Amino acid sequence: MKNLLILLLLMGSLTCSAETSAKKHIRYQNNAGTSVLRQILDVHYNKQTTKTAKPVILWIHGGAWKFGNKTYGIGSKARAFTKAGYVLVAMNYRFHPKANWKDQAGDVAAAAKWIQQNIAPYGGDPKRIILMGHSAGAHLAALTAADPSYFNNTQVPYHHIKAAVLLDGAGYDLTSVMKTSKGLELKFYQDVFGNDPKLLKAASPTHQFTKKRPSPDYLIIPISNRKITLQQSKALATAIKSSGNHAEVFVARNRTHMSLNQKIGAPGDGPTTAILKFLKKQLK
């Protein structure tokens, strides 16, 4: 049964609706000893417009770096973004403790490499990639967008990463998080990232920016009533702007950490409108 499941995942499946089509369970890398389920992605696209090269959103799900799935809340996102003229790629990645944060960032870069090499038949433009993530996925999107080495390792041109959209992430400056967190929250971050000051800095997107290097544009969306993500988001934006790069903060009101993610793509959703407006402006 296990071998049959793996075979079906590797073969992929095609689903269609009036608004979007999806090619599912595509393997984007092959790490020995790692479950196939952690190394697959789905492509959501408009099969009627594949001859027009459209920007590609790489979606990185949340889950505390330890759990989660590319399918969580993806339906409304796929409909909204394909309708707006994007291709949406939703990826799985390896989990802690079998993989650390650096491995996970490498998975993001590997998925970007797959996009570079394979997205054209789906109507995607490999030279216009947007990283978008929620929670732990927001941290991984922020980190890889800030540090060209991840993409250099997979031979993806860094300037092809055009923007990063971050939904309520809390780990942008882990050195600060370690100082302000207490109890179970502190233990959680220590378990995932350790205590080594050099590694904490390397894992912190806020510490990766320099005036000598352009970065993708950032849209950072914290919720209004979660102190840690609000503070971390504003500090990240300050670091980006101080390096001479572009960042915007949109504070989502009347949202929880989970409902922010769940409502992205819903008709009339404020954060979704902000994302589409931001991307239209940055990609013109």
User: What is the residue extent of each domain of the chain?
Assistant: 17-282
Is 70 exceeded by the pLDDT of residue 7? no
Q: Please report, for residues 82, 252, 283, the alpha-carbon distance to residue 275 in angstroms, rounded to integers and kept in the order given.
A: 14, 12, 12
Collect all residues with Cβ–Cβ distance below 8 Å to 284 and sequence separation of at least 6.
none
Q: Helix, strand, or coil here: 23? A: strand
pLDDT band at 16 (very low <50, low <70, confident <90, very high): very low
Helices (H), the chain: 2-11, 74-83, 101-118, 136-146, 149-153, 174-180, 183-193, 197-202, 227-242, 257-263, 270-282
pTM (two decimals): 0.93
CATH architecture of 17-282: 3-Layer(aba) Sandwich (3.40)
The string of pLDDT tens digits covering residues 157-194 is: 999 999 999 999 999 999 999 999 999 999 999 999 99
Mean pLDDT over the full length of the chain:
93
The string of pLDDT tens digits covering residues 81-108 is: 999 999 999 999 999 999 999 999 999 9
Q: Which residues pair with 45 in a beta bridge?
A: 21
pLDDT band at 19 (very low <50, low <70, confident <90, very high): low
Share of the chain above pLDDT 90, in %: 89
pLDDT band at 33 (very low <50, low <70, confident <90, very high): confident
Average pLDDT over residues 211-217: 94
Q: Please compute Rg for the chain using Cα positions.
A: 18
Backbone dihedral angles phi then psi of residue 12, each to the nearest 5 degrees: 80, 170
Q: Would you say 104 and 131 are in contact if contact means Cβ atoms under 8 Å apart?
A: no
Q: Would you say 92 and 67 are in contact if contact means Cβ atoms under 8 Å apart?
A: no
Average pLDDT over residues 41-46: 98
Round to whole Å and give the CA distance between 253 and 258.
13
Round to whole Å and give the CA distance between 189 and 9.
33
Which amino acid is residue 54, in one-letter code? K
Structural element, H or E, at residue 91 = strand 87-91
